[in-house]
Structure 1
Amino acid sequence: MGDDKNFIRQMENVSLADNILDTLTESQNAIVEKLQQLQKSRDDLDSSYTRELNALRAKYDALYQPVYDKRAEILTTPNGSDYGTPALPRFWLIAMKNNSTLRSIIEAADEPILAYLKDMKAEFLEPLKQESFKITLFFDKNPYFSNKFLTKQYNMSIIDGETEALLQGTESTTIDWFPDQDVTKQTVSRVQRHKTTKERRTKTEVEEKPSFFRFFTSQQVPSNESLSRMTKQQIAELEMYVEEDYDIGIILRDKIIPESIYWYLGIAEDEDLEDDEDVDDEGDDDEGDDDSFQQSYSDYSDSS
């Protein structure tokens, strides 16, 4: 997605250029026009550079795949355990937990399930564009859900006035949980008392709870019309949810999958952990931020 602030620019939809041009003289506007023409020449070269760079990346992504296939073959070689990654049990779980961002969303109830994770894959939907991409997690047969794999797809596109692809929404696999195995929900019983009769009754409700598997939720970034009805606080919260969800995908795509052995051994450089330490040094008044990913931005969808 490039600079996450692109998302804010999309939300605000403010044309600063028009305001500046209104303050210039006729001769100054003529100079601006010449500079814009020069900039277009540079932008055309940059587009050519991006196309060639994407082609090079696509070439090496194809070359990496046999390496990843061999890694999966080694990890799934029977050796004591009979599920997940028998050669190194809980390989992917350990690798993910050594990343501070992923560790913050993996709950205790998630860990037995993630032990059945046997491989991960990341791929661009159109390799030569390097925009929309998909993350796939492959699972052995397990007592929690029937899916053989779970996917999360990030739909990206370049909109008018932008040079980088922006997140438009995500598509995720619906997890087919076996009865009483859904770790993303919990049943809560509450005792209620009638105001008049004083009679008591027990009401049972199903609530969402924190879980890594809430990552597999489809969402759409609201339209400008929906955004216009939101408060600044709601927009700020929405931006946070979108960025955190996107960051998870990028960490899996660019860190965990290509450098899994480094993360398993705990020797990979955790840039997110360094950022957290910087925040701690400055003082953190926002408690509970680690749980922010567990919330959803579906409340701000076009249906609202």
Structure 2
Amino acid sequence: MADIDNKDQAEVDPADMEDVEEVEEDETGEDENSKARQLTVQMMQNPQILAALQERLDGLNGSPSGYIESLPKVVKRRINALKNLQVKCAHIEAKFYEEVHELERKYAALYQPFFDVRSNIVKAAYEPTDEECEWKADEDEELTDEMKEKAKLEEEKKDEEKEDPKGIPEFWLTVFKNVDLLSDMLQEHDEPILKHLQDIKVKFSDPGQPMSFTLEFHFEPNDFFSNTVLTKTYKMRSEPDESDPFSFDGPEIMCCTGCTIEWTKGKNVTLKTIKKKQKHKGRGTVRTVTKTVPNDSFFNFFTPPEVPENGELDEDSEAVLAADFEIGHFIRERIVPRAVLYFTGEAIEDDDDDYDEEGEEADDEEGEEEADEENDPDYVPKDAAPPAECKQQ
């Protein structure tokens, strides 16, 4: 048997042996490449490694390349000239926004007659004609004349069975309740008051005066306060900050002022009375003390935090003012011009559609991620209650 093996080895051509060795080396190289690819795939599937890579990449984004520092002094001088030009452009942009404000004032005067009619219809000061009330909805196109007549008779029968309301009841309250930004401010005790809200108007500053706008909330006589109009004024600035001119991005609200609400005694919903028991340390006797403390209410909107002369605010006041500015802009730019569409909910659907178009992909990815997390037996929800020792800290 050994002789046969030796004979077989003797008959093998040396060139063939070299080929075999080369093939074996190539196969070994492919195995190593395959293992490397598998290792890379495994690493990229590791969330901790991916997070570390992402953090590293985020740190690189926006970091200076060092190119500017390496430039000769003469080139840096020219860059400074470009920056000075940019400051001049910012001042021209400020003038542009001032003219935009003038256009807003001009067109506000053109809109106002229509808003006045809207207000009169809402508060039953004007009854629109049949022609003004005619509205052809999309679904009406598919209805036959017979179906339309039947629907009209049924609608008239319903109207006969109930009282004839005046105007459009709870118009503005419904608008507020339909908009998340405003409904978050509403409390149950605010609703009876807002049923008396008849109109919201926007008034712009006069020509030549500092840029500002005022929101006017018009109320019918009620048992809660004697004011017929509550106001909120927002003062804006449309000029670059000398200390940071490149941060200019259009007019910004600098401060806002509310008004004094003349509450009827016992009707002030921005305050509440609480009773607190106090125990005397020496005698051990207990007494009940009545205190008046602030209460959550939409009407706190008319008493915003005051901005000190130095402009410095604590974090809570800054957060309140930031939200206040957002609400003021939203009422001015969206609610007042399109109130009926927020009353019916159509404007809300349009807002949602706009959001879905921009955020649909992100939402899908988030949903997939949440599904993966829920299927993971080791997954702990972010909002899970912390351990007791964490709560005590």
The TM-score bracket by the shorter chain reads: 0.7 to 0.9
Partner of 1:123: 203
Q: Give me the TM-score of the superposition, normalised by structure 2.
A: 0.57
Written as runs of structure 1 = structure 2, the 5 A alignment for 1:263-302 is 263-269=342-348, 271=351
Partner of 2:328: 249
Assess, with a 3 A threshold, how the Cα gap between structure 1 residues 170 and 117 changes in structure 2: closer, same or farther.
Answer: same
Assess, with a 3 A threshold, how the Cα gap between structure 1 residues 181 and 24 changes in structure 2: closer, same or farther.
Answer: farther
Assess, with a 3 A threshold, how the Cα gap between structure 1 residues 284 and 119 changes in structure 2: closer, same or farther.
Answer: farther
Partner of 1:93: 173
Partner of 2:318: 239
Assess, with a 3 A threshold, how the Cα gap between structure 1 residues 223 and 76 changes in structure 2: closer, same or farther.
Answer: same
Inter-partner Cα distance in structure 2 for 1:205 and 1:120: 35
Assess, with a 3 A threshold, how the Cα gap between structure 1 residues 48 and 90 changes in structure 2: closer, same or farther.
Answer: same
Say whether the 8 Å CA contact 2:97–2:251 is kept in structure 1.
no
Unaligned runs of 5+ in 1: 1-20, 228-233, 286-304
Superposed displacement of residue 248, structure 1: 1.5
Inter-partner Cα distance in structure 2 for 1:128 and 1:225: 25
Inter-partner Cα distance in structure 2 for 1:127 and 1:96: 32
Partner of 1:196: 282
Inter-partner Cα distance in structure 1 for 2:324 and 2:97: 26
Assess, with a 3 A threshold, how the Cα gap between structure 1 residues 261 and 129 changes in structure 2: closer, same or farther.
Answer: farther
Instruction: Please identify the structure whose Cα radius of gyration is greater.
Output: 2
User: Is 2:222 the counterpart of 1:142?
Assistant: yes
Deviating more after overlay: 120-129 vs 167-176: 120-129
Instruction: Select the residue among 9, 28, 31 that pairs with 2:75.
Output: 28
Partner of 1:46: 93
Say whether the 8 Å CA contact 1:124–1:130 is kept in structure 2.
no
Greater RCO (Cα-Cα under 8 Å, separation 6 or more): 1
Partner of 2:232: 152
Question: Which one-letter code corresponds to 1:216 in the other structure?
Answer: F
User: Is 2:296 the counterpart of 1:217?
Assistant: no
Unaligned runs of 5+ in 2: 1-67, 128-162, 371-380, 384-393
Superposed displacement of residue 219, structure 1: 3.3
Structure number with the higher strand fraction is 1
Inter-partner Cα distance in structure 2 for 1:144 and 1:202: 29
Superposed displacement of residue 226, structure 1: 4.4
Superposed displacement of residue 188, structure 1: 0.3
Say whether the 8 Å CA contact 1:58–1:128 is kept in structure 2.
no
Say whether the 8 Å CA contact 1:54–1:128 is kept in structure 2.
no
Inter-partner Cα distance in structure 2 for 1:81 and 1:180: 33
Inter-partner Cα distance in structure 1 for 2:228 and 2:290: 32
Partner of 1:74: 121
Aligned-residue Cα RMSD (Å) equals: 3.5
Superposed displacement of residue 26, structure 1: 2.3
Structure number with the higher helix fraction is 2
Superposed displacement of residue 38, structure 1: 3.8
Say whether the 8 Å CA contact 2:172–2:199 is kept in structure 1.
yes
Inter-partner Cα distance in structure 2 for 1:44 and 1:216: 33
Say whether the 8 Å CA contact 1:170–1:218 is kept in structure 2.
yes
Superposed displacement of residue 239, structure 1: 2.7
* Local SS of the residue matching 2:188: coil
- Percent identity, aligned pairs only, is 32
* Local SS of the residue matching 2:74: helix
Say whether the 8 Å CA contact 1:100–1:272 is kept in structure 2.
no
Assess, with a 3 A threshold, how the Cα gap between structure 1 residues 141 and 165 changes in structure 2: closer, same or farther.
Answer: same
Inter-partner Cα distance in structure 1 for 2:253 and 2:220: 31
Inter-partner Cα distance in structure 1 for 2:325 and 2:227: 23
Question: Which one-letter code corresponds to 2:254 in the other structure?
Answer: Q
Assess, with a 3 A threshold, how the Cα gap between structure 1 residues 167 and 47 changes in structure 2: closer, same or farther.
Answer: closer
Superposed displacement of residue 134, structure 1: 0.7
* Local SS of the residue matching 2:113: helix
Inter-partner Cα distance in structure 2 for 1:99 and 1:256: 9
Assess, with a 3 A threshold, how the Cα gap between structure 1 residues 217 and 61 changes in structure 2: closer, same or farther.
Answer: same
Inter-partner Cα distance in structure 2 for 1:52 and 1:22: 40
